[in-house]
Structure 1
Amino acid sequence: MKPLNALVFSLLALSSVPAFAQTSVEDAWVRATVAGQPSTGAFMRITSSDDGKLLEAKSPVAKIVQIHQSKMENDVMSMQPVDFVPLPAGRTVAIEPEGYHVMLIDLLGQVKEGDEVPLTLMVENAKGVKQSIEVKARARALNSMADHGDMHGDMH
């Protein structure tokens, strides 16, 4: 009976292991470009079950990928790189043109409407555990904004 006791003990031990934070990414999109345009932005909504941070993003379509924040100061809009984006537990963080966003710089080619752009996001939880998230962001028309669930998005 000892092997059965060991199995039961092992199962009980595993059931007490805390689950890793779950981070979900929704409505990921990239603004399409015109030929020769050197950069574009990627946008999405990120929700984490635990406090965490978006540390970085990567994509094979650009030589440089940075996380930026746009903000209005003294009636002037500025855009600066940031070290991370806070991801408060249970709150959806919008990665959008007017706030935090991902810049794809030195594009290797044109991003055309309908293209699927691969992105790799690196997030870190409050305990310092890092997680890599693979995302496919659909390229939307140059004049497109995030649809935020309205009737104008993704109707083809």
Structure 2
Amino acid sequence: MPIQPGDTLPDIELQVMGEKGPEKVRTSELFAGKKAVLFAVPGAFTPTCSAAHLPGFVVNADKLRAKGVDSIVCTSVNDAFVMDAWGKSQNAEEITMLADGLGEFARAVDLTQDRTANGMGIRSQRYAMIVNNGTVELLNIDAQGLDQTSAETILAAL
């Protein structure tokens, strides 16, 4: 069963790109004491993710912050180099691009999907969460499209 509102995010070690290369970061530290929006995409540089999902959060970052969001985090089952390149290509300086290269976080929150038929392996489902001090307050999942996980939908929920 997927993680639910009221649950604490699992403490998983993932990566972000630092000045000298990939750096380890624990989810417990990343979300401690902060109100955050965490959204996941099936893959960096993929059509819907690049054309709409990430750009929506880039465009609405100031509005999200005005509603009390301390950090906006995007995760995908990609490595830190890919997440960093994708973030730069999307002008996502205000978004933490969190690499879940082995899919450990996606599995821990039970939000994976099997894309092996498309040559992509096990990926994250498309979801968006509002997280307060490590506790999930809202979880929206989209099987298709962005109706539930867009920046606009999350903004309206804050």
Q: Of Structure 1 and Structure 2, which has the larger fraction of its residues in helix?
A: 2
TM-score (norm 2): 0.26
TM-score (norm 1): 0.26
Bigger radius of gyration among the two? 1
